[in-house]
Structure 1
Amino acid sequence: MGTGQLIEVIGKGNLVVETKMGKREEGSSSDRCNVNDESLIPASETCELIENGSRLVPMQNNTGPQDYDHTPLKFKSLTKVYAKCNLCIVKPENFEEAAKDESWKKAMKAKIAMIEKNCTWELVDRPFDKPVVGVKSPSEATLYIKAFEAGILIVSLYIDDIIYTGSSSALMDEFKAKMMGKYEMSDLGLLHHFLGLEVIQTEGCIFLHQKKYARTLLEKLRLNDCKPVATALAANEKLSKIDGSEMADESLYKQMVGSFPYLTATRLDIMLAASLLARFMHNLTRKHMGTTKKVLRYIQGSLDYGIAYEKGKDVVLIGYCDSDWAGSEDDMKSTSGYAFSFGSGAFSWASIK
C-alpha cells in the first residue's frame, strides 16, 4: 500500500494504522480514510477493518481466531450518565411510606417549621376519643366527601376559600355553623365566582362558564376585535413539526397556547385543539401560529359557551369516545378523546395522544 492511497472504511470514527514509523491514529469523518505514510500492509493484499480495535490489518485466508483490542476508548462518569436520565420520583401514598425516605422526612420537617414560623395554622393534638374519618377524595386533593344517613356533604377547599354543597340544606347549615364557630369566616352567599370560573344558579339549572377569562385573554393578545369563525379546527386537519413554512415567534405562541388548558375547565369543545397545539411548543411554524389564531377566533365567537347542569334530568351515565387511528404525521400515534355525563352537562373529558 503506497503513500496517499485511499482505504475503504466501514463506518465512521478514528482508525489506528500501523506504519514503518509506528502506530498512528487517523480521523475519519466519511467512509474513506487517507493514509499519508507508507503502510506495512502490501498493496496487493486485501484489507479489512476490525471495529473493536479500530485497527487495519490484512485479511487472512484462514478462519482462525483473531486478536481484538478490548481497551475502552472513552470513559464517562456515572454522574454524567444519571444527569441525562429521566428520573421518576413517585410521591408516597401515606405517611408510613414517606417516613422511610430521609429526603421526604427532611421536607416534611421543613414544611412544619415554616408553618409554625408563619403561624399559618395552629397545630393541635388529635382528641383520643375521636376517630379519624377518611373523607378525602383519592383523585382530588382538595375535595372532601362525607356521607350521612340524612344525605351527602361535599366540600372543596383551596387555600382560604371553601365551597360546599350537599343533598340536604340541614347538613349544609350545620357545617357552616360549625366552621364559623371554629374559625374566623365570612359567608359570601351563593357561589358566583371561583378561581376564574363564573357560576349562574337558578332553580332548575347551574351554568358554569369562563366568559370573563376568555375576553381578558383576547384583549391581552389584542384579538378582541377579530372576526369569529364557526369551528376551532378544520375537518381532518393535520399538523406536523416540519410543514415547509417559515418559523414563527415562539414566545407569543407559548403565551397563546399556554392559556388554553385553564379554559378547558368549562370548554371541552377546544380540548382537542389545546392538546394538539401543545405538541409544537418548540420549532413552531407559521402554520401552527395560524391554527392557534383560528382557535382564538372561534373563542371570540363562542364567549357565552359553558356547561349547564339541569335539575330533574334522569341520572344515566353516558360516555362518548373516539380516536383518529395513527393521526399524528410525526410518530404515527393516535389521539383519543372521551367525554362522560350523567344525562346533563359533562363532568369528565380529555384528549390524549
Structure 2
Amino acid sequence: MKEQNIKLGISIGDLNGIGGEIILKTFEDARMLEFCTPIIFASAKTITFLLKHFNLDINFQGVKSLDTVIEGKLNVVNVWQDNPQIKFGEESSTGGSYAIKSLKAAVEALKSNKIDVLVTAPIHKATIQSEDFNFPGHTDFLNQELEGDSLMFMTTEKLKVGLLTDHVAVRNVSDKIDAKLITQKFNTIQNSLIQDFGISKPKIAFLGINPHVGDNGVIGDEDDITLIPTLAQLREKGHLTYGPYAADSFFGSGNYKNFDAIIAAYHDQGLIPFKTLSFGKGVNYTAGLNKVRTSPDHGTAFEIAGKGIASNSSFKEAVYTALEIFKKRAEYAEITANVLQKQPRKKQYSGRSRGN
C-alpha cells in the first residue's frame, strides 16, 4: 500500500484544550499530505473558527461522508452541524461532550475500515464523563470497542515503556497485579514489539513493584510472592525477560538503554521518567488491539489553550508512529502469510483402512 493511500483519522479532543491547535499546526506543513490522507472528525464550522483564531492559512475539504474523502487533502467530516462555543482553557461538559462525539465517530470509522489508523487529540478525564461515556480515558473505551487486550505503551525511537496498571489509584495497585496480569501484559508488549516495531527477539525489563524491589520483604512482599516467580516462569519458556529492577535508579543509570522495552508496575513509575527523558517527542500508543491508535504524550493543557503557543511536536510524532506501525503490521502479515504458504500440508486421512 502506498503511503499516500493511508487514511489517517483524527479525533479533535476537548474543544477548549490545545487539540485543535496542534492538529492544524501539524498539517500546516503541506508535506504531511504526501504521507497520508488526514480526516478530522469535527465540523467545517469548528475548523474554520480555529483557523481564524490561530491565523493559520490551511485549505481543507469539508465532507458529508467518508465516501467523499479526497486523497491527499486535509478532510473534515461533519460530525455535528451546530457551531459550539469554544471557551479556551475552561473545563466544561460541553467541551467534553463534543470530544466524545468526535471520538465515537472516528472509532466507528476505524471499526468499519473507513479509516486505516486513528490519532486522538487530548481529552479531559473529568469533562468526558456522562451516562453515555463512563471511562477513565481513551484506552479503556478502545479496549471495549476494538478486539484485543489494550495496553498503554509510551514510545519513542529509543525508549518504550509499558504499564502493568495505568489509571489506577496507588492504594489499589498491588491488589491489581497478579501472575495472570503480568503474563498478559508481557505477551502484549512482546507481540507489539515484534509485529508493530519489527524487533524479532525483544529484550524486556520489569521494574519492581515496591521500592528496592521490596528489599527481601522489608518493604513489601509483592515482588517476592508475585513478580519474581512469574518472571522466572517466563524465562523458563525462553522469553528474554529481565529484572525486576529497582525503579529509582534504573533510568538515571542509563540501564534502560539495554532493553527494547520496560514494563512499569504503575502509571507514575513509568510515565514520570518517560516524560522527563522524552517530553514533546513521546507517543502514547495503544498496543494489543486489532487497530492502530496513537496520541501525543500530553493532555489538554488548558493553561495555554487558545494562546497559539502549543507545540505540535508530540502530535506530529503520533502521526508518524501510527503510519509506521500500520506499515510494519502489513509487512508482518505478508511475511507470516508467506511462511504459512511454504509449510508442507499434512496429508488428509481418507477414512479407508488397509486390507479392506
TM-score (norm 2): 0.23
Higher relative contact order (CA 8 A, sep 6+): 2
Write 1 or 2 for the structure with the bigger share of strand.
1
Greater Cα radius of gyration, structure 1 or 2? 1
Write 1 or 2 for the structure with the bigger share of helix.
2
TM-score (norm 1): 0.24
